Structure 1
Amino acid sequence: MSDNFSERPAAPASKSTVEITVRVVVLGLILSVVMGAANVYVGLKAGMTVSASIPAAVMAMLLFRLFFKNSTILEANQVQTCASAGESLAAGIIFTMPAMILIGYWTEFDYWTVTLVAFTGGLLGILFMIPMRKVFVVDNEELKYPEGVACAKVLHAGEVGEEDGAGKGLIVGGVLGGVVKVVGGFMGLMSGSLETAGIANSRIFYFGGDLSPMLIAVGYIVRLNVAILIFIGGAMAWLIGIPLLGGGLAGDGADSAVDQAYGIWNSQLRYVGVGAMVVGGFNALIAVRHGLVAAIAHLWHGMTGDQDVMQEDTDRDIPSWAILMLGLLCVLSLSMMNYWFTGNAGITLLSTIVMLVMGFFFTAVASYIVGLVGNSNSPVSGMTITAVLVAGALLYLANYTGMDGMVATLGIAAIVCCVACTSGDVCNDLKTGSLVGASPFRQQLMQIAGVSVAALVMAPVLTLLHEHGGGIGSKELAAPQAGLFASLAKGFAGEGELPWRRIGIGVGLGFAILLIDEALKRSGAKFRAHLMPIAVGMYLPFGLATPILIGGLTAYFYSKDKPDKEQDAVLHRGVLFSSGVIAGEALTAVGIAGLAAIGIQSLKLGVPPGMVTGISCLAAVLIVIVFVVMSKPLPQNKK
């Protein structure tokens, strides 16, 4: 395949080429639901999600080739666009809605509230992104969109029949991920983690890691730079911070050393990551200030009729009047939801305004970052933390406290998070569409359809996992972001005390990391010290960072001897296999929870945790690594 793919002008879609058909809509909506359900589990367990665009594109091409020989690349692109909407919406919901359980406002997920938040936040993300398309996708040479370009390469490879082998890798990965979850989560034959801690001179020393093929697959996808940064953040908190703080903050001395380590991290050290994320969020806003101004001007020109009405099909968006009408519908829905939550007109007005303003700003931030480092690496949780802090501070200054203040704060965070997740995904998919000659207008329609359907299944999947998958906040479904947002909301609402000193340390550390990254950038170094992954590593359990690092190292050693221009192609099949592992484990976990809901409980075979379970899980991890390394790269197109 041509090395300068991303620099080629988009091939305009033929007037006779059909993009949206019945089979496209049906398959796109089904995959949107499937990808959404899978990423609900991944986000609750791992604290992050991965982009579904490339796996969805491969699945669309495989199914089309199997059942519809006359399908086109544009049909596959529209299916991928719709399917990825479910994944992006899941990220927005699982980072915030579980916090309503954790603060005690809900005892179970309210179906209509979750659905309304998902639909309204997702729709706003699409609407806010549309006037920014030309600013960030078409006219911006700085943004390379690594995942959007990779997805376009996949679609072109599938058009000439190169993706059959990669599709098989996706299926094999899915089977392996499903088998691992059945053997571990359903039969109890695999342990979930290996961790240890000791106390010396009142200092706690901890080390451990989850035995999860899924997390290794995540590390492979995000690559070595990001994996190392996550591990550095985790090491700063767990390997350095915990020993420095000592055992006095851990609580009951009767707790095990491991429990005391978790206690220190939970009550103190993860807030250092929060402070660093706040710096990252505002730094990103500053970076995209010119794009925001241009997007507002573009939207204004559309409303006043200054734009050329006769646009090419490959340059046509949903019209500005439709954006305005749908936006007003969203505002009305948000106002009703806020009033339903709090019963206070003042909180409703303030919350709605803050939601809209911050949602618009973070649409630009998410679009910029997705263009820079890819959708999987977008620090949406950092943006949401910034939204929580700003919203909580404003509500506190307006003297809104207690449960009403907490609920209003989390409601704002939920909408902003859904907006940021969806807008970043839209931006990424529009880049792919521009490279294959798709119509932005039709892609935006498919995104809206995908969000609409995926929003309907968020609450049922959350309920299944909460009631039959270990429970929100358990070790199996830690929901780290939701727990953090709940703590922040409690602090601002007067229900708890925030460790402002730790947050301040994180702010200072964030500025230091920005300076280090700027120095690396000016020196031309390939390795970058991006702030957000380091901050993410601080507030995630350290057990997640270890397998993610193993996955990043696997990707590096597999491709290190290849020229830079060939590395993406070399790693491509491993990415698809890894995506299969993630989807397979996640969907199986949802299925196991569904079985438990109808009375089919896990088949615990009575094997005690220990050597057998550890060895079996390590074997699964090694299988993942070996399969990835043995995968052959995509053949290159002959030009």
Structure 2
Amino acid sequence: MNTTDAGSPRQLTFRAVILSIVLAVILSAANAYLGLFAGLTIATAIPAAVVSMGVLRLLGGGSILENNIVQTGASAGSSIAAGVIFTIPALIIMGYWQDFRYSWVLAIAGLGGLLGVLFSVPLRRSMIVEEPLPFPEGKAAAEVLKAGENPGPGLKILGISGALGAIVKLAAESGMKLIPDNAVGSGFIGKYLGYMGTNLSPALLGVGYIVGLNIGIVVLSGSILSWNIAIPMYHAMFLHTDPAMAQELANASAADAAGAIWSAKIRYLGVGAMLIGGVWTLFSLRKSLLSGIKSGIAAARAEGGAIVHHTERDLPMKWMLIGLVLFVLPLLLLYQAIVGNWAVSVPMAIIMIVAGFLFVSVSGYLAGLVGSSNNPVSGITIATILFASAVLLLLLGASGKAPVGGGGAPLGAVAAIMIGAVVCCAAAVGGDNLQDLKAGYIVGATPWKQQVMLMIGAFSCALIMAPVLNLLAQAYGIGARDAAHPNALAAPQATLMASVAKGLFGGKLPWDMIGIGAVIGAAIIAFDEWLKARKSTFRVPVLAAAIGIYLPLELMVPIFLGGLLAYIVERRQGVLGASDEARDRVHRPGTLFAAGLITGEALMGIAIAIPIVISKRADVLALPEAYHFSKYVGLAVLALVAWLLYRTATKEKYVADPAHA
């Protein structure tokens, strides 16, 4: 292949690589905390681009392509964190591991991330060049890079909001206990069990602002279906069918009863909806994915004697094939170490390769449509685990139900989670890679340099995942809350993966609830297709609704409120119904403020964990009870944060020139 790099500015410089690695590590730690806490992660390209422009300006200035390289590598922080926290904590929850083993986490996350980059390379041409998808976050990042002459205001917004998020987190229950984490009200009206409340986390408010009102309405509606319809119905009409639970809840408070019913029964409605949603996603994208894969591979083969400009140069196909072999071999050995049978570990590796390429394609397509923050990677992973479990049931037979590890986790369930973890990391990184390549395509970057930078960023994040997870697990606990860990991080997706995998290998699952959830999911899909046929701007993505059904109500309320705030800002600025580009420009100050809230709170959550682990006391930072304030003070604090977010998003000096914010 003949190439030309004439006129190509500096991109993959030493300082850009170092800055990108530092940002990737920080943002991956923050997203790991956020994902374990709320079941969601956010794309980090825009905050990384703003920080990069500010830092490189202090170092003498950087080109737009150098800043693009930094945001490309740094954005791996969200994708690797998502791939890891959605799956690997399931091994702790199942009891297979007692802590996160460094070498195993590094192998799964690092190799999965590298495979995600390789699998996404053939898709760039079809999804970005020939039949371009929107890739909303990639476009937004490109706009920020193009408007980077004055990054000062944006850095100021990030710094102030980051400090605010950190202070509120320090004041909350896991820190000084000045304010509670939740403001919840519950009670009985006859047999009806009423429950309503909100989490007081500024980070969740920021997540809602970023994902918008549409997604906020959908996830909150899913939670209302669970907590205000299904749980009261079950308590009033069906609790008597489970004498053991009825006796357990005889003297329980309304809040405790609602939590117990949700945990044992109702959350599995979300599992069923998520399963049907994952299958539907694959089915609905089948034609687009097949044509995209074919055209991408054909274009890569046809590059032999052509002169290719630097803006069209991907990693060579032969490098990809060599890398694929080199990266899969260690994973094959890892699978062999688990099952101890080559006749099983080889098919496991093949499943991983096929599912990895297929689901990287799905992830990339969905990231192109709805953005990385809304990419339903968890649904993709469930589909992988189900398929892998079905094959492993045939290969392992009765031995698949044999317990391994100290907690007695079924062998087949552990093997399925391992496959799912690699595929999840690959899918998350693949979708993120294509989002970054879209930004690079707009600003004139060299694709292969971005692909190399994302590999470096992904592997750098993988290096710190196990220590961060061990710190959080020791300080807060992961999974169900108990007396020892009253503020345990719920890890909702990992809990779901563990339940599904164990259930398919002899564990007990409420299949009736899963079946009802599947019917609910099918109804949501039908409703969304009806909205699509009517060309409605409001849509009901089934996997977002399923997440709402599966997660606690109080987590969804601030996400909805953040989305509502974003809608009010759009209305105030007169961009309702405008183009995505116009709305992104208006939202940029608010988006940066929201990203700062999320990052500040998450990093403070990690910082608080250090003295907790050292002292082995969950209340080591707590002030005396006389200084503990009520939930109403917490609500006032959240309202103040919301007002500051709104004020920043509509402040005249930013609105007048939003590109500089």
TM above 0.5, yes or no, is yes
Aligned match of 1:196 in 160, 169, 185? 185
1:147 — aligned with what? 137
AA partner of residue 373 (structure 1): V
Higher mean C-alpha deviation, range 177-186 or range 590-599: 590-599
1:31-46 counterparts in 2 under 5 A? 31-46=23-38
Classify 1:99/1:609 alpha carbon distance in 2 versus 1 (closer, same or farther; 3 Å): farther
Q: Does 1:22 align with 2:14?
A: yes
Size of the aligned set, in residue pairs, is 621
AA partner of residue 172 (structure 1): I
Q: Does 1:593 align with 2:591?
A: no
1:5 — aligned with what? none
Q: Does 1:531 align with 2:542?
A: yes
Distance, in Å, in 1 between the alignment partners of 2:124 and 2:145 is 21
Say which SS state the counterpart of residue 272 (structure 1) adopts: helix
1:493-572 counterparts in 2 under 5 A? 493-494=505-506, 496-561=507-572, 562-563=574-575, 564-565=578-579, 566-572=582-588
Identical aligned residues as a percent = 40
Q: Does 1:432 align with 2:439?
A: yes
TM-score in terms of structure 2 length: 0.90
Distance, in Å, in 2 between the alignment partners of 1:303 and 1:57 is 30
Classify 1:308/1:592 alpha carbon distance in 2 versus 1 (closer, same or farther; 3 Å): farther
Give the C-alpha shift of residue 594 in structure 1: 2.2
1:41-440 counterparts in 2 under 5 A? 41-65=33-57, 67-141=58-132, 143-158=133-148, 160-161=149-150, 163-184=151-172, 185-246=174-235, 248=239, 250=245, 252-253=248-249, 254-298=251-295, 300-301=297-298, 307-398=304-395, 399=397, 400-402=400-402, 403-440=410-447
1:491 — aligned with what? 503
AA partner of residue 168 (structure 1): K
Classify 1:219/1:636 alpha carbon distance in 2 versus 1 (closer, same or farther; 3 Å): closer
Say which SS state the counterpart of residue 75 (structure 2) adopts: helix
Say which SS state the counterpart of residue 564 (structure 2) adopts: helix
AA partner of residue 155 (structure 1): L
Aligned match of 2:638 in 593, 613, 621? 621
AA partner of residue 578 (structure 1): A
Higher mean C-alpha deviation, range 352-361 or range 124-133: 352-361
Q: Deviations over 1:468-492 (max 9, x none)?
A: 1344443441111111111111111
Classify 1:200/1:391 alpha carbon distance in 2 versus 1 (closer, same or farther; 3 Å): farther
Give the C-alpha shift of residue 196 in structure 1: 2.9
Distance, in Å, in 1 between the alignment partners of 2:503 and 2:178 is 41
Classify 1:206/1:493 alpha carbon distance in 2 versus 1 (closer, same or farther; 3 Å): same
Q: Deviations over 1:482-511 (max 9, x none)?
A: 1111111111111x2222222222222222
Say which SS state the counterpart of residue 17 (structure 1) adopts: coil
Say which SS state the counterpart of residue 234 (structure 1) adopts: helix
Distance, in Å, in 2 between the alignment partners of 1:85 and 1:417 is 14
AA partner of residue 605 (structure 1): L
Where in structure 2 are there 5+ consecutive unaligned residues? 403-409, 482-486
2:407 — aligned with what? none
Classify 1:113/1:58 alpha carbon distance in 2 versus 1 (closer, same or farther; 3 Å): same
Q: Does 1:461 align with 2:468?
A: yes
Say which SS state the counterpart of residue 177 (structure 2) adopts: coil
Classify 1:275/1:526 alpha carbon distance in 2 versus 1 (closer, same or farther; 3 Å): same
Give the C-alpha shift of residue 621 in structure 1: 1.1
AA partner of residue 589 (structure 2): R
Distance, in Å, in 1 between the alignment partners of 2:542 and 2:467 is 35
1:479 — aligned with what? 491
Give the C-alpha shift of residue 517 in structure 1: 1.2
Classify 1:303/1:520 alpha carbon distance in 2 versus 1 (closer, same or farther; 3 Å): closer
Q: State whether residues 301 and 307 of structure 1, in contact with CA within 8 Å, keep that contact through their aligned partners in structure 2.
A: no
Higher mean C-alpha deviation, range 298-307 or range 18-27: 298-307
Distance, in Å, in 1 between the alignment partners of 2:225 and 2:170 is 34
2:406 — aligned with what? none
Distance, in Å, in 2 between the alignment partners of 1:424 and 1:300 is 18
AA partner of residue 130 (structure 2): D
Q: State whether residues 13 and 437 of structure 1, in contact with CA within 8 Å, keep that contact through their aligned partners in structure 2.
A: no
Say which SS state the counterpart of residue 246 (structure 1) adopts: helix
Q: Deviations over 1:130-162 (max 9, x none)?
A: 001111121224x2111111111111111x32x
1:9 — aligned with what? none
Q: State whether residues 342 and 404 of structure 1, in contact with CA within 8 Å, keep that contact through their aligned partners in structure 2.
A: yes
Distance, in Å, in 2 between the alignment partners of 1:170 and 1:386 is 37
Give the C-alpha shift of residue 16 in structure 1: 4.7
Q: Deviations over 1:340-388 (max 9, x none)?
A: 1222323312322222211111111111111111111111111112222
AA partner of residue 86 (structure 1): G
Distance, in Å, in 1 between the alignment partners of 2:545 and 2:605 is 29
Classify 1:596/1:446 alpha carbon distance in 2 versus 1 (closer, same or farther; 3 Å): same
Q: State whether residues 588 and 659 of structure 2, in contact with CA within 8 Å, keep that contact through their aligned partners in structure 1.
A: no
AA partner of residue 494 (structure 2): A
Give the C-alpha shift of residue 124 in structure 1: 1.0
Give the C-alpha shift of residue 125 in structure 1: 0.8
1:8 — aligned with what? none
Q: Deviations over 1:552-594 (max 9, x none)?
A: 1111112114132443222211110000010001111111212
Higher mean C-alpha deviation, range 241-250 or range 226-235: 241-250
Classify 1:27/1:116 alpha carbon distance in 2 versus 1 (closer, same or farther; 3 Å): same
AA partner of residue 40 (structure 1): A
Say which SS state the counterpart of residue 371 (structure 1) adopts: helix
Distance, in Å, in 1 between the alignment partners of 2:550 and 2:341 is 34
Q: State whether residues 95 and 482 of structure 1, in contact with CA within 8 Å, keep that contact through their aligned partners in structure 2.
A: yes
Q: Deviations over 1:104-139 (max 9, x none)?
A: 111111111111000111111111100011111212
AA partner of residue 32 (structure 2): V
1:7 — aligned with what? none
Distance, in Å, in 2 between the alignment partners of 1:466 and 1:557 is 38
AA partner of residue 25 (structure 2): V
Distance, in Å, in 2 between the alignment partners of 1:31 and 1:118 is 18
Give the C-alpha shift of residue 542 in structure 1: 1.0
AA partner of residue 257 (structure 2): Q
Distance, in Å, in 2 between the alignment partners of 1:284 and 1:219 is 24
Aligned CA RMSD, in angstroms, stands at 2.1
Say which SS state the counterpart of residue 307 (structure 2) adopts: coil
Give the C-alpha shift of residue 529 in structure 1: 1.4
Q: Deviations over 1:8-57 (max 9, x none)?
A: xxxx9972510011110110011111011111100000101000111111
Give the C-alpha shift of residue 449 in structure 1: 0.4
AA partner of residue 125 (structure 1): G
Say which SS state the counterpart of residue 194 (structure 2) adopts: strand
Q: Does 1:578 align with 2:569?
A: no
Distance, in Å, in 2 between the alignment partners of 1:636 and 1:55 is 15
Give the C-alpha shift of residue 200 in structure 1: 3.9
Where in structure 1 are there 5+ consecutive unaligned residues? 1-11
Higher mean C-alpha deviation, range 247-256 or range 614-623: 247-256
Give the C-alpha shift of residue 432 in structure 1: 0.6
Say which SS state the counterpart of residue 99 (structure 2) adopts: coil
AA partner of residue 142 (structure 2): A
Q: Deviations over 1:500-547 (max 9, x none)?
A: 222222222222212211221222222111211111101111110111
Classify 1:578/1:637 alpha carbon distance in 2 versus 1 (closer, same or farther; 3 Å): closer
Q: State whether residues 94 and 482 of structure 1, in contact with CA within 8 Å, keep that contact through their aligned partners in structure 2.
A: yes
AA partner of residue 94 (structure 1): I
TM-score in terms of structure 1 length: 0.93
